[in-house]
């Protein structure tokens, strides 16, 4: 939720899904999930046709409501694209120096940097080097570095993180 710059990513495309599922972000780290649907589809679900062991847990519902109250605000959502641009520009600058990426892609604050062919299969090495420099990043398969920072990450933290990533990349590329 919110990672794309809108509450839900479908909102970028002018469509409305019949069913939407959400989980991790809904609870802000607390285990909760939800299935949202149209009135038409919901109308055919009679009481007892679908059950859950922990459905409707009051604490989980309170946490989800609080997370929605925080994420679904202009203060959070309006800054996503600007933060995205800072990350992408930093990745391009790193790539201009070290030529390690064949593609930089993503939406909002979910960004992938695909490793150039000569580095294919080495994403884990890049993650390890980043960790050694105090930066935690993820991978999406063996060839893509994945960045999924906090929705409210500060510009100074973006700059610091990208400097650490550049140092990690330099240590791998330059030996």
Rg (CA), the chain: 19
What would the pLDDT profile of 120-174 be if each residue is shown by its tens digit? 999 999 999 999 999 999 999 999 999 999 999 999 999 999 999 999 999 999 9
Q: Sketch the domain layout of the chain as residue ranges.
A: 9-73, 80-173
- Supply the pLDDT for residue 74: 94
Q: What are phi and psi for residue 136, nearest 5 degrees?
A: -100, 115
Q: Which two tokens stand for residue 32?
A: 């909760």
What's residue 11's pLDDT? 96
CATH topology of domain 80-173: 3.90.1150
Nearest in space to 166 (alpha carbons), one of 114, 84, 92: 92
pLDDT at res. 82:
96
Q: What is the mean pLDDT of the chain?
A: 95
Q: How confident is the model at residue 10 (pLDDT cuts 50, 70, 90)?
A: very high
């Amino acid at each position: 939720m919110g990672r794309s710059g809108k509450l839900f990513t479908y909102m970028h495309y002018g469509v409305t899904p019949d069913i939407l599922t959400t989980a991790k972000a809904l609870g802000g780290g607390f285990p909760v999930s939800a299935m949202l649907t149209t009135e038409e589809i919901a109308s055919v679900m009679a009481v007892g046709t679908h059950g859950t062991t922990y459905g409707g847990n009051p604490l989980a519902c309170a946490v989800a409501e609080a997370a929605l109250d925080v994420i679904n605000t202009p203060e959070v959502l309006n800054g996503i694209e600007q933060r995205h641009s800072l990350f992408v520009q930093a990745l391009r600058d790193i790539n201009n120096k070290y030529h390690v990426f064949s593609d930089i892609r993503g939406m909002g604050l979910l960004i992938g940097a695909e490793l150039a062919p000569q580095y294919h299969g080495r994403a884990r090495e890049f993650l390890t080097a980043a960790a050694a420099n105090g930066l935690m990043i993820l991978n999406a398969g063996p060839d893509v570095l994945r960045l999924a920072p906090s929705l409210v990450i500060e510009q100074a933290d973006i700059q610091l993180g990208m400097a650490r990533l550049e140092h990690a990349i330099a240590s791998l590329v330059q030996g």
